[in-house]
Chain A
Amino acid sequence: MLLEIENLRASIEGKEILKGVNLSVPAGEVHAIMGPNGSGKSTLSSVIAGKDGYETSGSIRFDGQEISDWEPEIRAREGMFLAFQYPVELPGVGLSSFLRACVNERRKHIGQSELDASSFLALMREKAALVELSQDLIRRPVNQGFSGGEKKRNEIFQMAMLDPRMAILDETDSGLDIDALRIVAEGVNKLRNPQRSLLVITHYQRLLEYIVPDRVHVLIDGAIVMSGDRTLALALEEKGYDLVRAEQEVSS
C-alpha cells in the first residue's frame, strides 16, 4: 500500500475538522475524494502534505513509513506532491530557478545527482509541453500574472518536474473552463503509471470523466462515509450528497 491513513483526526483552533479518516491507496491507483463544501477535503490534503498549524492524531504511512512527524519538505522530497487549489504567487522568484532548487532537493534526497542547467532546461521544455505551458510563462516569476487556468496547469507542470510517487490534486478542476480542464486532465493522465498513485479531490463528477478513478470515497463531516467504484461518483452527481447519505443511513 503506497498511502495508508488510519483514524486520522485533525483540528485547528480547537475545532475538529477530520474525525477519524481511514483510507488506503495502493501503488498505481487513482482514488477520488468527493464531498460537499466544508467536509474537510482540503484539510485532508493539507494534513497529508504536512501543513503546520493542525493538532493531529492517527497514522499516515507512506510506502510503509510513518510520516506524521515529518516536515512537509521531507514528505515532498520522498515523493509526495500536492497540487494546490489556490496556488500562491512568489513575486520576483523565477519559476525556473524555483523549480530547479526544488527538483535538486528531491534528487539529492533520493541519492541522485543534481541536474545541471542544460539538462534541467531540456527537462523543463519536455514537461511544459505536457500541459501546453508556454516558454514565456516559465520565464516569469512563479504564478505572477498567471491566469487561474495557467496557475492550475503550472501545478501539473511542477508535478511532472518533481516526478512524485503520490500526487494529491486538490480541486484542480475548480475555476477551469472545459478546454483548460481537458488540457490539465490529459496532462495528468500522461503522468499515470503503475508506480504512481493519485488522490483526486473534487467537488464534481466532471473531472472524473477525464481522469478515471479506480475508487471513489465520499468525505462528509470529516469522515469517509462511503467508498465505491466510479459509478458512485455518477450517483452523487445525480442524487446529491444528502440523498446518498440518507440512503446510506437507511441501509445501515
Chain B
Amino acid sequence: MSQSEQKLLEQLSERDYPHGFESDIEQEIIPKGLSEDTIRFISQRKNEPEWLLQWRLKAYRHWLGMKEPSWQKLIYPPIDYQDISYFAAPKSGPVLNSLDELDPEIKSTYDRLGIPLEEQMMLAGVAVDAVLDSVSVVTTFKEKLAEKNVIFCSISEAVHQYPELVRTYLGTIVPYTDNYFAALNSAVFTDGSFVYIPPGVRCPMELSTYFRINARGTGQFERTLIIACDDSYVSYLEGCTAPKRDENQLHAAVVELVAMDRGEVKYSTVQNWYPGNKEGKGGIYNFVTKRGLCKGTSSKISWTQVETGSAITWKYPSVVLQGDDSRGEFYSVAMTTHLQQADTGTKMIHIGKNTQSRIVSKGISAGRSQNSYRGLVKIRKSAAKARNYSQCDSLLMGNRCGAHTFPYFEIHQPTAIVEHEATTSKIAEDILFYCTQRGLSRESAIAMIVNGYAREVLDHLPMEFAVEARKLLAISLEGSVG
C-alpha cells in the first residue's frame, strides 16, 4: 500500500455506519430464551388462530432435531439461541393506517434512516410497510391499493383478515422442514409483509417494506408472503438497517413468492444491516431463506439484491420453475468490506418445459472480507429445452480479501442448454491512475468503477432505489480502500 493510500485509509476508516443510532421508543420485550412457552406467548400476543400456533409448534419441534448447517464458507462463533429475545414491539399498539397516527419517535427513526415515509408516499407513489423489530408499525397507501383489490398489509393482519389465503400458501414454498433457519423462523416469526395481487391486476405502485432492528438483544424473524395471481404483476422492494451494537444480532427471515399463470413478481432487496465495526465486532447475522415458485405457465420471478450490510450473510434467493415457459432471474451485487463474510447465490430449479433462468452475480470484496458465490442450477428430466445462463464476476480490492465461486450443476435433461461464465478481476493501478489524472479522487474513482462494474445489476432496480443503491455502494467502500 502506498503512503497516500495509507493516509486515505486512516482518514476514512473513522467514518461511521450512518444508520447506527438507537431510537428511544417505549418497548415491550420478552425475556430471552426459546421454548414452547415462548412460541405460545408470541402466538397469543398476536391473537393467532389455533392452526397457526400448532404449525409454529410443529416447526419448533422439528427444529429441535435439526443441526445448524456447516457447509457454507462462513466462520462465526456458535449462536446461543437461548440468549435471544424473540419478541420486541413498540408499546404504542396496533398497526396504523396513516402516518398521522404514528408515534413521532418511530417516525423520526425512519426519517433518520433517510426513509421519509411521507415524502416517499407522495413523490414516488410507493406504498410502504414499515417493520420495527417484531411488528409492522405502519402501512401506507392502503386505500389506493384497495381500489385495485390489491392486498398489502402486515402478515399478522393478514392472518386475521385473509386467513384462507395465508393458510393456503404459508410454508408451501419454504416448508419448515426446508432448513434450520427456516424452521426457526416458522416457529418464532413475528411479522413481515403480505401481498396479494388479484388476477389481471398490475399493481399500480411499487410496494416496499423497510425492516429495522432497534431493540437490544433481540432477533428479527420476519416472514413475507407474496401471491401474484394469473396475469398480474408486482414490484416489491425491501430495505433493512439496524443500530450499531457490539453484540451480534440474528436475523432469520423467510420470503415466499408464488406466481400463477403469466403472473410476475419482481423482488428487489437493498440489504444494509449493520456490518460490524472494522475489527469485526458486532453486526447482524443474516440467515435468510427466499424462494419463489413459478407455479403457472409463462410466469416470471426476478430477484435483484444489493447486499452491503451484515457481518454474516447466508442467503440464496431461488426460483422453482414449475410452470412451462416460466422464467427465473437472479441479479446480485454482494459487497463485503472489513471483516464481513458473505456466502450468497441462488438456486434455479427447472421442472417445466422451456423454462429459462438467468443468473448475474457481482461480488466485490475489500478489506479482509470473504465473499462467496454459491449457486445451483438443477434441470430435472421433465424440463425439456430448459435454458440457463450464469455469469459470476468477482472484483477484489487489495490482497487480504477473498472471493470464491461455487457453482453446482445437476442436469438430467439432454436438451437443456446451460452456460456459465466467471471472471475475477482487480482494480488495476493503471485504471485508478487514469481516473485520478482526470481529476477524480481515488475514492470517487473507486466508487465509480465499482458502480460501473455493478451496473448490469443496478439497472434492474426500480429507478429511485438504484440511485440509493449506488450511493450505498460508495459509502460502504469508504474506509476499506487499499
Contact = CB atoms under 8 A, between A and B. Distances in A.
B440 interface: yes
Interface stretch (B153-161, B279-287, B452-460): B452-460
B431 A77 contact: no
B452 A141 contact: yes
Contacts of B452: 90-93, 141
A93 B451 contact: yes
A102 B431 contact: no
A77 B437 CA distance: 9
Interface in A23-54: 46, 49-53
Contact of B448 (A49, A71, A98, A158): A98
Interface in B1-39: 2, 4
A71 B8 CA distance: 12
A109 B439 CA distance: 10
A16 to B, nearest CB: 20
A88 B436 contact: no
Contacts of B455: 92
A84 to B, nearest CB: 6
Given A92-B452, A98-B448, A72 B437 contact: yes
Contact of B453 (A53, A75, A91): A91
Contacts of B456: 92
Interface string B413-452: 0000000000000001111011111111110100011011
A99 B438 CA distance: 8
Contacts of B437: 49-51, 72-73, 75-76, 81-82, 84
A162 B435 CA distance: 13
Interface string A87-125: 110111100001101110110010000000000000000
A162 B439 contact: yes
A98 to B, nearest CB: 7
A87 B434 contact: yes
A76 B438 CA distance: 6
Contacts, number: 80
A71 B437 CA distance: 9
B2 A52 contact: yes
B440 A101 contact: yes
Contacts of A162: 438-439
Nearest to A90: B452
B436 A76 contact: yes
B439 A71 contact: no
Nearest to B393: A91
B448 A53 contact: no
B439 A93 contact: no
Interface in A55-78: 71-73, 75-77
Nearest to A76: B439
Nearest to B7: A71
Contacts of B435: 90, 98
B385 to A, nearest CB: 32
Contacts of A141: 452
B439 A102 contact: yes
Contacts of B440: 73, 101-102, 105
Nearest to B444: A101
Given A72-B437, A102-B438, A158-B438, A90 B4 contact: no
A53 B429 CA distance: 9
A76 B452 CA distance: 22
Nearest to A49: B437
Given A91-B453, A92-B455, A92-B456, A101 B448 contact: yes
A182 to B, nearest CB: 26
Contacts of B431: 88, 90
Contacts of A87: 434
Nearest to B434: A88
B441 A53 contact: no
Contacts of A109: 439
Contacts of A91: 452-453
Contacts of B444: 101
Given A51-B433, A72-B433, A92 B439 contact: no
Nearest to A83: B437
A105 B451 contact: no
B438 to A, nearest CB: 4
A218 B434 CA distance: 26
Interface string B125-168: 00000000000000000000000000000000000000000000
Contacts of A76: 436-439
Given A158-B438, A162-B438, A52 B448 contact: no
5 contacts: A50-B437, A92-B453, A93-B449, A101-B444, A106-B439
Interface of B: 2, 4, 428-431, 433-442, 444, 448-449, 451-456
Interface of A: 46, 49-53, 71-73, 75-77, 81-82, 84, 86-88, 90-93, 98-99, 101-103, 105-106, 109, 141, 158, 162
Q: Ordered nearest first, which 3 A-B pairs have the shortest CB separation? A: A92-B452, A93-B452, A92-B455
Given A72-B433, A93-B449, 9 more contacts: A46-B433, A72-B436, A73-B439, A76-B439, A92-B451, A92-B454, A101-B448, A102-B439, A109-B439
